[in-house]
Amino acid sequence: MRENRWNYRTVTIKPGAFKKATEKLEDIEDRLNRLGSEGWELVNVVTGIGMYPTYFLKRRF
pTM, entire model: 0.80
pLDDT tens per residue, range 7-46: 999 999 887 767 787 888 888 899 999 999 999 999 999 9
Alpha-carbon distances, residue 30 vs 4, 23, 51 (angstroms): 28, 10, 20
Domain boundaries, the chain: 6-60
pLDDT of residue 14: 82
Alpha carbon distance 15, 21 (integer Å): 9
Residues near 1 by beta carbon (within 8 Å), at least 6 away in sequence = none
